[in-house]
Amino acid sequence: MIDLTRRYRFAAAHRLHSRSLTAEENARIYGKCNNPYGHGHNYILDVTVAGPVDAATGMVFDVAKLDLVVRQSVLEPLDHAHLNLDVDRFQNLTPTTENLCMEIYGILSANLTHEPGKAFLKRVRLEETSSNYFEYEG
């Protein structure tokens, strides 16, 4: 088993605000991130797949296929979007980086079919700023 990690980037805006909290709680918990108009980040997304190396090709996963799946299912809907306003999933879910990381894992997990004996989705790592990143393994 070997791991391949591939890096992608997207830029998006979000506002941290939870419907299940009062205005005061939102302001206290999220601070400047609760600013009504939102703010934004350059997210760095690292996708890790793990599996055996194919004897004929010497590769663990078809990188072109991985790029296609990530681009169509993650980058196109999220890049240059306002997460709260442009993305259905975040109408009722606060787009913290935790929730965004788990949502991306779920999308990729559904779109990267796991054939027996082949590589599978192992981990999603989402970096919000150079001081902060999140990792989710399902």
33 has catalytic annotation: yes
Residue from 80, 79, 75, 78 nearest 89 by CA: 78
H/E stretch holding 133: strand 132-136
Among 16, 104, 107, 121, binds a second copy (CB under 8 A): 16
Asked if 79 interacts with a second copy (CB under 8 A), we say: yes
CA-to-CA distance for 33 and 77, rounded, in angstroms?
22
115 has catalytic annotation: no
Residue from 59, 78, 84 nearest 124 by CA: 78
Site map (CB under 8 A) of a second copy, residues 84-103, x = contact: -xx------xxxx-xx-xx-
For binding to a second copy (CB under 8 A), which residues are involved?
1-9, 11-14, 16, 18, 20-21, 29, 31-33, 35, 37-42, 53, 55-60, 62-64, 79-82, 85-86, 93-96, 98-99, 101-102, 128-137
